[in-house]
């Protein structure tokens, strides 16, 4: 199995370059047949948001995403995995999170990107606060029950 894959986990304030991250996984290799990337962006549907401020738990954020990524590596035949989550103030249209999953065949890469995001949403210690365009604080974004259910669907029988 793909025991040698060590996931790359980065928690950072700076933006990331999706193309560079894909190249980082695939460069110089001929054994990867599929790369799936998921990018999560800061969204402003109403035109009222100035920025999201992402607070995180330093240390645990890396550790928890590492634990989720380790599960993915154990469960699917992967050739590479990169997860980046930003913190600090992020404006509408900017990147928040990136998952890059590489495998021989597409199914594993698709599933891992999906799995990672479902778990990350409900278990990675990050919290979003809204800052509104009129200068006021919009409050903390509430967790969605649907995100917990999304993670539950990956549980194996008996878990």
- Measured from the CB atom, the residue of 3 and 93 that comes closer to another protein is 93
Other beta carbons within 10 Å of 107: 13
> Which residues does 135 contact at the CB level (< 8 Å), separation at least 6?
50
Output the smallest distance, CB 28 to another protein, in A: 31
Element of type H or E holding 81? strand 78-86
Helices (H), the chain: 18-26, 60-75, 106-123, 145-152
- Measured from the CB atom, the residue of 77 and 125 that comes closer to another protein is 125
Output the smallest distance, CB 133 to another protein, in A: 20
d(CA 31, CA 60): 33
d(CA 13, CA 36): 23
> Which residues does 27 contact at the CB level (< 8 Å), separation at least 6?
none
- Measured from the CB atom, the residue of 81 and 96 that comes closer to another protein is 96
Output the smallest distance, CB 5 to another protein, in A: 22
- Measured from the CB atom, the residue of 78 and 124 that comes closer to another protein is 124
Binding site for another protein (CB under 8 A): 40, 54-57, 59-60, 63-64, 85, 96-97, 117, 120-129, 140-143, 147
Output the smallest distance, CB 19 to another protein, in A: 21
């Amino acid at each position: 199995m793909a025991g040698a894959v060590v996931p790359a986990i980065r928690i950072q304030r700076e933006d990331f370059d999706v193309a560079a991250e894909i190249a980082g996984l695939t460069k110089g290799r001929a054994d990867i047949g599929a790369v799936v990337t998921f990018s999560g962006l800061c969204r402003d549907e109403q035109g009222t948001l100035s920025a999201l401020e992402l607070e995180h738990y330093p240390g645990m954020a890396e550790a928890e995403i590492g634990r989720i990524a380790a599960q993915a590596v154990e469960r699917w035949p992967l050739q590479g995995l990169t997860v980046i989550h930003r913190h600090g103030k992020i404006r509408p249209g900017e990147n928040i999170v990136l998952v890059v999953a590489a495998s021989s065949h597409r199914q594993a890469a698709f599933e891992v990107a999906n799995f990672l995001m479902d778990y990350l949403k409900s278990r990675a210690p990050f919290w979003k606060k809204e800052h509104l365009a009129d200068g006021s604080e919009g409050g903390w974004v509430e967790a969605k029950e649907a995100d917990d259910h999304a993670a539950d669907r990956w549980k194996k029988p008996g878990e």
